[in-house]
Structure 1
């Protein structure tokens, strides 16, 4: 199963969107139409790469837009970039999400005591390759971190691309600790402090800041998949989320997006144009004492 992307609008601008097509050239939603599993028997999952490693633009699946393209997050009318908090530069992994998952904001997690963040579950892919924006990769899950972000549960799955040269050596979170000493500690540090330059407090974590193992992570992913299934079958109130899809819902469902409707979405955007300059402030490095 393969997917391609179609860029629309000007990169680094409010108009920029990344739309997805399947192997048949049909427009699909990366939230709803790309299967969660690449190989269920082997627990291999698909991940939609939103942010390539070392970059700063906070790209994300637009869960409230038709066809759910990837776009840059906006705050107070401005495009959002994550700060470089010393010693980190941009995102320190390929960052993305597992399709067909959803962290239900009405569900209070028994372990964290907090409700979900209303998004697909996040993934930090720790392989050696710098992926491309919109790339759909297949990963092995290694573990998970339970971040508490402004009172919401925001799980961070640790995974590795199955095509990575180190994939055979990394099978659980303990392997990461053994073969990549300091990397998990840096991951906690990154998530703890990345919002501080914006005036926000440090993020917290459940389980005394510790990562849970592969089996725990897979169970969390499965639970978010069940929340998504309730969402897409209209058993759960979607709120502002756009659940229209081209492959999952029956043709008589209100969630079914027709070929013409999908094409009309693209017709309402402009072709991919000249890349806008990235503000020089994005390269600033922030120093502050760790608490």
Structure 2
């Protein structure tokens, strides 16, 4: 679509916190190597190495933590913020034996699961978010870390009637990354991990009174080629979004690097959006309920 995305082969990003952690005003903004504020949704390139199908991923939730941090798709510059439910900060429930998230959880930038597009395989519309990833590498990443990933496969979760892909990936810097090239390698080298992943996504909303999540393909993981095709399709949807060829709805497409995008803003406007937020301050307390264990008798 002719989009010019200013990017270098070697890219580095830093984060800047605003507000008080563990409160509703907490935000994590992103800067590129030039010190310019960028959107993790729109400005960080999808590809780290397009020829090798190596992608970037934004880590929203480090492994073993439970604060449900996410790219704020409706806010200017899309910082990370903690999701809320009924006015309260959201922490994912610990459903035994799973403590917090069991992988580094995040999203691939410059992707969009189009809510106007009915997926041919799942028969459901997209969930209006970037595509999600579960990094199975050994390293516990930090919040807001940008990593390079190999795609290994995907799980098609149906969340309240919407397609919500969960792409299984491994950090390319993982010592064992060369041994992982497809979903069967995960099954062979990390036995039980895929079963635990399906279990986690099936159960994590049950303590909130919701039914088990459902899955396309009878909960089977699709392979690397299928997953890469799906990621690339969501990139095409994102291109239409950022070009104003698809309805954005409540999404905020403000960006600083997609030069052909009608949403591309000046450095001054980006600075103003960040400076409108509270200064970084002392963390608030984490509610004791965040450490509560739930036990579920699966049927």
Q: 2:274 aligns with which of 263, 266, 271?
A: 266
Matches within 5 A, 1:1-291: 1-250=11-260, 254-291=262-299
| Alpha-carbon distance between aligned partners in 1 of 2:279 and 2:136, rounded to the nearest angstrom | 33
Conserved 8 A contact 2:244-2:262: no
Deviates more, 1:57-66 or 1:253-262: 253-262
Q: Which residue of 1 aligns with 2:7?
A: none
The DSSP-based 3-state class of the residue aligned with 1:212 is: coil
The two structures have a TM-score, normalised by structure 2, of 0.96
Point out the more displaced range, 96-105 or 268-277.
268-277
Unaligned runs of 5+ in 1: none
CA contact (8 A) 2:68 2:90 kept: yes
Q: Distance in 2 between matches of 1:233 and 1:102?
A: 13
Q: Distance between the aligned counterparts of 1:237 and 1:150, measured in 2?
A: 21
**Displacement of 1:254 after TM fit?**
3.9
**Matched-pair contact (CA < 8 Å) for 2:112–2:130:** yes
Provide, for residues 111-136 of structure 1, a one-character-per-residue CA deviation record: whole Å limited to 9, x for no partner: 00100000000000000000000000
**Other-structure match for 2:6:** none
Q: How many angstroms does 1:244 deviate by?
A: 1.0
Q: CA deviation at 1:275?
A: 0.9
Deviation at 1:271, TM superposition (A): 1.8
CA distance in 1 between partners of 2:265 and 2:144 (Å)? 21
